[in-house]
Structure 1
Amino acid sequence: MTGNNLSAAYQKDVEAISKIPIIDSLLEVVCRTTGMGFAAVARVTDKQWIACAVRDEISFGLNPGGELELQTTICDEIRQNKSPVIIDHVAADEIFCNHHTPARYGFQSYISFPITLKNGQFFGTLCAIDPKPAQLKNPETMGMFRLFADLISFHLNARDEMALSQETLAKQDKQAELREQFIAILGHDLRNPLGSIMMATELLGESELDPETSHIVKTIRNSSQRMALLIEQTLDFASAQLGSGISLQKKSIDVALLQQTILQITEELQRIWPQRIINISLQLNAPIVGDLGRLSQAYSNLLGNALTHGSSNEPVNVIASSDGDKFELRVKNSGEAIPEASQEKLFEPFYKGDPNNTKKGLGLGLYIVAEIARGHAGKIELNSTNEETIFTLTIPA
């Protein structure tokens, strides 16, 4: 027998067995049922035999954490064959009567069953010995040992699965922390300085500037607006995909305010695409309930998408209507039909369709539209033919 200066891994195995609530009772049942004086759960590897739990009524002298030389044990043979070994009476057994292990440790009866984990890994054995012969080769005793070995395996598997779950939770907590840091950087460290730049360009734009400087200011303003849009889209994606969804503040929106908002957004995008024609038809006959800011964002994304991807020689047509039951917004553009395979993915985050497409953007615009529709208990639909592509946003009024 050797000391118990165990490595951290083996110490964990000993602790895992000791934490099984029924392990002491299980070993007691083994001894009382078989009449044997020593029972143990052993961790057996290709190099070591380590006692994890022990019941010793014969002063064998082995405690949890104690070791036997592997080559002096029968458990090493069980590890290799993964089959139980049962000896009623060593002196009368043709195979083990001259075996070195009984001679070394002074036992006449022996039983040991393998403990195999769910993944097929051999953990060790449930074993018992006694200096006197015992009746062990019977269905009741062998069935009990097999059941107890499976029960120990079950607890060890549960331990591993719990450890994996805890590790996964720890990773998720870390990811959540990184996500919060990421959102904080976008929301404050980037958005606030960008807001200052945009304000400065607005002030400069009101001054009398020479043509070259005016062009530079306009370029900075447009780039800043684009950066602000990308930041807002990324924040919305983080909220929708990783948080509790895009936040909404629903209120009653009267016809005049709804009309004013649609016209204002149209005017803003018209300034960005001054060469394009945007036709608007408003049939707003009843107020609606919704988040005006989010609906404005949805319309801006849909109109911007039509202006970006539609035929530059044809107008974009916008039809908005409300009738007391629903609000419907339709944005039409001419151009090639969107392939069916792409239509199914258009509302997924970061999807850009053609990988060779050089048009800028994160591929979040339509995803955010879909999330805004979902938040309003509405829907976004697409119909694309060789003549025109139509996006229709519908929400209950």
Structure 2
Amino acid sequence: MNTPAALFAPAADVDSDEAIARDVAAIGRISAVPSLLKIICQNTGMGFAAVARVTDGTWTACAVEDTIQFGLEPGGQLKVETTLCSESRMARQPVVIDHASTDPVYANHHTPRLYNIESYISVPIIHSNGDYFGNLCAIDPRPAMVSDARVVTMFTAFADLIARQLETEARQERTETALQSAQDAAELREQFIAVLGHDLRNPLSSVGVAAELLIRRQAEPDLVKLGTRLKASTRRMSALIDDVLDFARVRLGSGMGLAIRETEFLASGLNDVIDEVRAAHPALDIRDELSVSGVVRCDQGRIQQVLSNLLGNAVAHGAPDQPIVVRADVRNGQLVLSVTNGGDPIPPGDIAKIFQPYWRPENSKPGGGLGLGLYICSEIAAAHGGTLEVTSCADEGTCFVAKLPIT
């Protein structure tokens, strides 16, 4: 059975090539459709079955089962006005013909005569929101009992299944598009943060130099005081930039960079951090119990960063009239570094959130940082193959413990 070539037509202007191709592809992704079309042909004895995309202007085959050489393949088109699918679309009802040449309604209809068919069934594929997609249809040059209620029910069920699956496909595509857009936006944002943090280094360095010059003006106490305050602010800004850059590196996938090497000076490096915090907060009682000796393998700068951030957290949230205690020793090939402070315990509900980026407790003071310090500490610990944990209670205070393999 051959279809006249003149009956194939290009898509009308109201149907873009892109929209048609998208819908053909969507049907093609539904793995059950070929099986459904085979079942239709086997159960009805008809030789051609198809899922068609039908609009006012176009009829496009999206999937085809053809054993009678009708001549259509997925993407192939017919002039919509030559099909009975257009009538089904207007009525939003199935069109069913058992024997066209003897049918009182369709004996003289142009479609059966044009395509030399006797049996025909076309059932609308309608989305749950009422949008019309097309038709599930079958034809054959021989008569067939397609008006049987079981056949019509099968077609209706299959058409509904295809409509629901198309909706699922569309939802998944929207979700994937939204996810990709969100990922692209997040990556762009984090790249911007990284570039901004890098570009802040030069002006911040100039501010630091100016602070040092002011501090040297010993004959002018007011300038020394201003320089000292400016130097402290510069140091704090530099630490914030470090945290932001580290966060951007982790989130962009390059990970927390480490420079592991052997060092004999880890203890003195930790003491340097403690002395710096003591100098910035002379009113606080900061105690140390360090027992780290010999050669260890680690990224000393990153471990100093962990201690600096943990001490900064203790200074910000601990009770000013209770001591802050720093302990460090080596046990079983691990550096165990802890910072303990007194004060109100961390609420149990906050413990699970405390290492999340940008998270700060509700009672945080304004200007207290970005909420990245503890997140960066946990990432440094993880990069070393270690852990960072916290315990907090009224009797024993809040204690952060980092356990880092160093051998």
Range into which the TM-score falls when normalised by the shorter chain: 0.7 to 0.9
Give the direction of change, closer, same or farther, for the CA distance of 1:235–1:158 in structure 2 (3 Å limit): same
Between the aligned partners of 1:14 and 1:352, the Cα distance in structure 2 is 50
Match of 1:6 among 4, 8, 13: 13
Alignment of 1:358-377 (within 5 A): 358=366, 360-377=368-385
**SS at 1:353's partner residue?**
coil
TM-score normalised to the size of structure 1?
0.77
CA distance in 2, matches of 1:134, 1:383: 78
8 A Cα contact 1:4 1:65, kept in partner: no
Q: From the superposition, tell whether residues 73 and 355 of structure 1 become closer, same or farther in structure 2 (CA, over 3 Å).
A: same
3-state DSSP class of the match of 2:284?
A: coil
Structure 2: stretches of 5+ with no match in the other structure: 1-6
Q: Say whether residues 1:338 and 2:346 are aligned partners.
A: yes
Structure-2 separation of matches of 1:144 and 1:287? 78
| 1:179 aligned partner, one-letter code | E
Q: For residues 281 and 164 of structure 1, do their structure 2 counterparts lie closer, same or farther at Cα, with a shift above 3 Å needed?
A: closer
2:89 corresponds to 1:76: yes
User: C-alpha distance in 1, partners of 2:228/2:246?
Assistant: 27
- The amino acid across from 1:74 in the alignment is E
Q: How many residues align?
A: 383
State the AA in 2 paired with 1:296.
Q
Q: Which amino acid aligns with 1:5?
A: A
In structure 2, relative to structure 1, the CA distance for the partners of 1:374 and 1:38 (3 Å cut) is closer
Q: CA RMSD in A?
A: 4.4
What code does the residue aligned with 2:196 have? I
Question: Which has the higher mean CA deviation after the structures are superposed, 68-77 or 353-362?
Answer: 68-77
Q: For each residue in 1:112-156, what CA deviation from the matched residue of structure 2 results, as whole angstroms up to 9, or x when unmatched? A: 134467999642113345787445457899979987996899699
Identify the range of structure 1 (372-381 vs 1-10) with the bigger mean alpha-carbon deviation. 1-10
Change in CA separation of 1:170 and 1:65 when aligned onto 2, cut-off 3 Å? farther
Determine if contact 1:249/1:291 at 8 Å carries over to the other structure. yes
The one-letter amino acid of 1:247's match is G
Output the CA distance in 1 between the equivalents of 2:285 and 2:235.
22
Which residue number corresponds to residue 321 of structure 1? 329
1:4 touches 1:67 (CA, 8 Å); kept in 2? no
Describe the superposition over 1:34-64 as per-residue Cα deviations: whole angstroms up to 9, x where unpaired: 898987653235xx252113999899xxx72
Q: Which residue of structure 2 aligns with residue 389 of structure 1? A: 398
8 Å contact kept, 1:40–1:126: yes
CA distance in structure 2 between the aligned counterparts of 1:335 and 1:157, rounded to whole angstroms: 54
- Check conservation: 1:20, 1:155, Cα contact below 8 A: no
Alpha-carbon shift at residue 89 of structure 1 (Å): 2.0
Question: Who is 1:252 aligned against?
Answer: 262
**2:314 corresponds to 1:306:** yes
- Amino acid in the other structure paired with 1:364: L
Aligned to 1:103: 109
1:50 alignment partner in structure 2: 58
Identity of aligned residues (%): 31
Partner letter of residue 312 of structure 1? Answer: P
Question: Structure 1: which amino acid aligns with 2:384?
Answer: H
Unaligned runs of 5+ in 1: none
Q: What CA distance in whole angstroms lies between the structure 1 residues aligned with 2:324 and 2:358?
A: 24
Structure 2 CA distance for aligned equivalents of residues 114 and 184 of structure 1: 56
